Amino acid sequence: MAKLTLRQAITEALREEMHRDKDVFIMGEEVAAWGGTYAVTKGFLEEFGEDRVLDTPISEMAIAGAATGAAMAGLRPIAEFMTINFAFVAFDMIVNHAAKISYMFNGQFTAPVVFRAPGGGGKQLGATHSHTPDIIFAHFPGLKVVCPATPYDAKGLLKAAIRDDAPVMFIEPVPLYTSPKVRGEVPDEDYIVPLGESDIKREGSDVTLITYGEGLWTCIEAADALSKDGIECEIVDLRSLQPLDDTKFVESFKKTNRAVVCEFGHTTYGIGSEVVALLQEKAFDYIDAPILRVGAAQAPAPYAGQLEKSGLPNAQQVIDAVREVM
């Protein structure tokens, strides 16, 4: 069992699935000769050839459209966007075509395409390149949305996404790609992590922290600090945003009676809003304190490093929220 970074786990998943299934191919801007913006597909052109690793024109609409058409024709394309911010350009093709094909044709067509999209802020890329718009894509039925936080989950979820017959938006938190704290053990053998299943990453008894993606590591840092003061946090990693598995965080909340939701997107109309709504619908009698949300500042991301950092969630904000609900 090797210790991999998040980026290495994604690369391994892609390589294994391309060897497993000849219908799987990769397309996107600079994915072939350059090896991908974040070097995820480095060496793939030499290994699999130009018929299965395709550099495309700089047109996200063309990438998403061609990938959707190829999927309808029986192939399993993996379409890479340089960043999820550019997926906005292909929005119509993703949510109005790929997501609806199977429904509109009564199952006669499927669109098993994976849209890989690096996302998140914190890299000083400016306001137009630093979105965490995950909730927007999760809003639309027919499109599955996944965001892993650990190498184990990244590999297993990506393999599951590639094998799924529905279109999947696979969001990869850029700040976690090579982060040393995220490096973790990944099995050598073939495995998948089912889409639509959340996971308890830490057992606790006093308060439930509900999060996903980069937020997991923020919550782990907060939980470690709070544990020194005798407050034990249970951490639920959503992993999939569509479909959203509420079973684990509802059961956890029934045990702790308190919750804080942490997301790196904006809290306005965010993932946390949906989680809070589900908790009050399914566990109203267990609420002992207001359920609080921690998220990005409701403002475009600044370019200056310290300003951008100040607008993103941090462990201290989670700690403060936990102390408030306690």
Residues marked active site are found at 60, 129
CA distance 322 to 258: 8
What tokens were used for 262? 């942490």
Q: Strand 207-211 vs strand 233-237: parallel, antiparallel, or unpaired?
A: parallel
CA distance 249 to 243: 14
8 A C-beta contact, residue 250 and residue 318? no
8 A C-beta contact, residue 129 and residue 117? no
8 A C-beta contact, residue 158 and residue 14? yes
The stretches of the chain forming alpha helices (DSSP H) are 6-20, 44-48, 60-72, 91-93, 101-104, 134-138, 151-163, 214-227, 247-256, 271-282, 305-310, 315-325
Strands (E), 29-132: 53-55, 76-80, 114-119
> Which residue, 139, 147, 140, is CA-closest to 117?
147
